[in-house]
Amino acid sequence: MDLNNILSQLGLSGKKDTVYLSVTPGVGLELIQLDVSARTVKNYSFRPLEYNESLREITDMEAFKNAVSDLFEELKINLKSEIVLNLPMVLFGSKELPILLADEAVTEALTSEVEQSYIFRRYEPVVSWADSNNIQSGDSRKLFYSAIQKNTIDDITNALAELGIKLAGIEISLISLLKALSFTGLAEEQMKDNVSWNLMLITQSGYSIVSMIGRNIIDYYEEPLAIKSFEGDEIYNAINASAQITLMSYPANYVYIISETDMVSAELLAKRMQIDASISYWDNNDFKKQDALPVSLEVLEETAHKISLEAIGVAVGNAVSMPVKFNFMSGLKTEGAAVDPNEPIHVILGSKEFDISPNAARNISLLISILLLLPVLGAYFGVPMIVSQKQALLDDVNSRLDQTNAEIKRIQDEQKKTNNFDVNEEIKKVLGNNRSKLLAYTALGESVPKQLWLTYFVAKDDGKFDIRGDAMNVEDIYKFFRNMKDSLINTKLRLHKLEMQSDSVDDAVTVDLNAPSDYKFEITNMSDADVNAIKLPGERLLEEAAAKAKGKR
């Protein structure tokens, strides 16, 4: 007997169709159906739909309802179907909270955090959160959260209800994108276990960095950037300059660039990025050169080219599961609202979805309860015998644990007596010093003129720098000095030494005015005593040779 027959005998009313929609800026409203096993698009169409990027909401809800109606009619889909809708991400963030905090308290704390955003100062948020793959630090855990305006969800639900359609779920664009990258194999190398990579999303309002390890989100960073204010190649230079500094904080083996705006080509940006990582890209816009999935003959070629990664990701459904999931539909029913006792219950069992009547659900629950009760009764009589055996083992473990805790406390007390070494402070100090050194190296690479050569450079942990070199003219030295001061702000760099170098007095007197002069310089923010204490390798060799000669005399 197959699964369908079993479920039918238990009172299931049959499979209920689920339709997937995506509100995608730059495309509109997309309706898509996939053949998951064949990894192809079997049905697709779209309608233009305006989306307000500033307010993060659909501009006209009546236009949304008409677009849904047109798409269902065009693709001959039953209006009684349920839909899962992808929406552009309104807000995403992370926060560390105590492990012992109850779920309701977590939601209240995150809601207070979300209400600080300018969007949710006017509209009530619906907040959903998830653990970040059990990342814990001491007594706290890291949570990722997202939020959508409650009035937006209510308006969408009501618009669909007027058409006889039920809203079954909402997914945000970030999760849909990650599911699409996994399902299509576009990020197969990046999503392997223990592989560190960064997803860089370019939108009309700026860019964001999603730090990943395999399929797990580790961190998220958003950088606002007025992309529309730039002209031509200026936007690539602006994004490149900003992202190179940002990516220093997120070291990874790979960077995957996705452009969501027609103003930026992900391919062109990838070619201009100068970072120490393997760069991949995908244009989710008019620059797209190929489709992410093959399509059936039912889908026109020019229409298929519009298919976005967000539409593919939401249509994947449960075929791809990401560690971070959000549920914006829970808790939306109005308190005290009447509930139809005869309304079927929707059940998802593996890859199948069914509606089951309340009476059948009650009978199944009773049967499951009896089956579960039998082993409980057996355990009730068998547990006392096992408890006595396990108690002896537990007492032994507790005894060893007490001894270990006492040893740990003794070692901690000894460490406090010998030094006050603070691991966290030392880590922060090392990270700060390394960042200042990286900025110094970057400044050197961008500031050295062609007729200037560096002969010595040192960057100390306390933020002190000493730079020495030669140049063909004074103008290049001044230009280099000015660029370094502009790049290394608050370092108080000064031109400590500037002198003409010559092999002899005769060379200095008979210098050819038409030939370029050779100058030595030193730029530093160290004190005179510290600078004079630095001996270059050549200087040390001369001193040692002079000392040996003096000893022979």
Tell me the CATH number at 224.
3.30.420.40
Query: Is 448 part of any domain?
Result: yes
CA distance 352 to 350: 6
Burial class (CB in 10 A: 0-12, 13-18, 19+), 351: exposed
531 in Cβ contact with 524 (< 8 Å) = yes
Q: 127: which residues sit within 8 A by CB, 6+ positions away?
A: 107, 110, 111, 114, 145, 146, 147
pLDDT-based confidence at 457, cuts 50/70/90? confident
Lowest mean pLDDT among 212-221, 365-374, 459-468: 365-374
- Determine the Cα angle at 227 with ends 222 and 232, to 5°: 140
Query: Is 269 part of any domain?
Result: yes
Residue that finishes a domain, picked among 227, 258, 289: 289
List the structure tokens of 225: 């950037």
Query: Is 514 part of any domain?
Result: yes
CA distance 130 to 406: 37
Number of domains present in the structure of the chain: 2
30 in Cβ contact with 315 (< 8 Å) = no
Query: Is 523 part of any domain?
Result: yes
pLDDT-based confidence at 170, cuts 50/70/90? very high
Query: Is 239 part of any domain?
Result: yes
CA distance 457 to 444: 10
9-53 residue pLDDT tens: 444 444 557 899 999 998 999 999 999 999 999 999 999 999 998
Query: Is 309 part of any domain?
Result: no
462-518 residue pLDDT tens: 778 889 999 999 898 888 888 888 877 777 888 888 888 765 445 444 445 454 558
Taking alpha carbons only, the member of 451, 439, 443 closest to residue 483 is 443
Which one-letter DSSP state was computed for residue 504? S
Residue that finishes a domain, picked among 268, 289, 310: 289
Whole-number pLDDT of residue 426 = 56
Whole-number pLDDT of residue 210 = 94
Burial class (CB in 10 A: 0-12, 13-18, 19+), 88: buried
Q: What is the mean pLDDT of residues 112-122?
A: 89
Q: What is the mean pLDDT of residues 317-332?
A: 82
Whole-number pLDDT of residue 368 = 83
Whole-number pLDDT of residue 128 = 93
Counting residues of the chain whose pLDDT is more than 90, the rounded percentage is: 35
Whole-number pLDDT of residue 21 = 95
Whole-number pLDDT of residue 41 = 93
Under DSSP, is residue 276 helix (H, G, I), strand (E, B) or coil?
Answer: coil
List the structure tokens of 133: 């793959």
Which one-letter DSSP state was computed for residue 295? B
Domain that includes residue 459, residue range? 427-552
Residue that finishes a domain, picked among 274, 289, 304: 289
Q: What is the mean pLDDT of residues 52-75?
A: 92
Q: What is the 3 state secondary structure string of 313-370?
A: HHHCHHHCCCCCCCCCCCCCCCCCCCCCCCCCEEEEECCEEEEECHHHHHHHHHHHHH
Strands 82-87 and 166-172, how do they pair? parallel
Q: 438: which residues sit within 8 A by CB, 6+ positions away?
A: 248
Query: Is 205 part of any domain?
Result: yes
Lowest mean pLDDT among 56-60, 244-248, 345-349: 345-349
Query: Is 354 part of any domain?
Result: no
> What is the rounded average pLDDT for all residues in the chain?
81
Q: Is the pLDDT of residue 199 over 90?
A: yes
459 in Cβ contact with 491 (< 8 Å) = no
Which one-letter DSSP state was computed for residue 229? G
CA distance 55 to 140: 33
Report which residue type is found at 200.
Answer: M
CA distance 295 to 313: 15
